[in-house]
């Protein structure tokens, strides 16, 4: 497994339920569309906290 890289997708989970996804912009940051609030840049840790995520996965785009 590798560290997340720019362009990867991160998925935030809690108790097996998908909460949110975002695009990784750096090792610690991501870009995310938050409904009608628009596109935001935040740290991955902030997104985990905001959604109450207990687990995250990273996916490499094809």
Residues in contact with 54: Cβ distance below 8 Å, sequence separation at least 6, in sequence order: 13, 14, 15
Does the structure show a pLDDT above 70 at 1?
A: no
CB 56 within 8 A of CB 11: yes
Residues in contact with 20: Cβ distance below 8 Å, sequence separation at least 6, in sequence order: 11, 12, 32, 47, 51, 53
- Helix, strand or coil, per DSSP, at residue 47: helix
Mean pLDDT of the chain: 92
Model confidence pLDDT, tens digit, residues 20-41: 999 999 999 999 998 898 999 9
The structure's pTM equals 0.84
Does the structure show a pLDDT above 80 at 43?
A: yes
């Amino acid at each position: 497994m590798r560290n997340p890289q720019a362009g990867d997708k991160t998925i935030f989970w809690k108790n097996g339920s998908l909460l949110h996804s975002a695009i990784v912009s750096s090792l610690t940051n991501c870009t995310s569309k938050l409904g009608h609030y628009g596109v935001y840049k935040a740290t991955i840790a902030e997104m985990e906290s905001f959604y109450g995520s207990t687990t995250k996965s990273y996916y490499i785009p094809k």
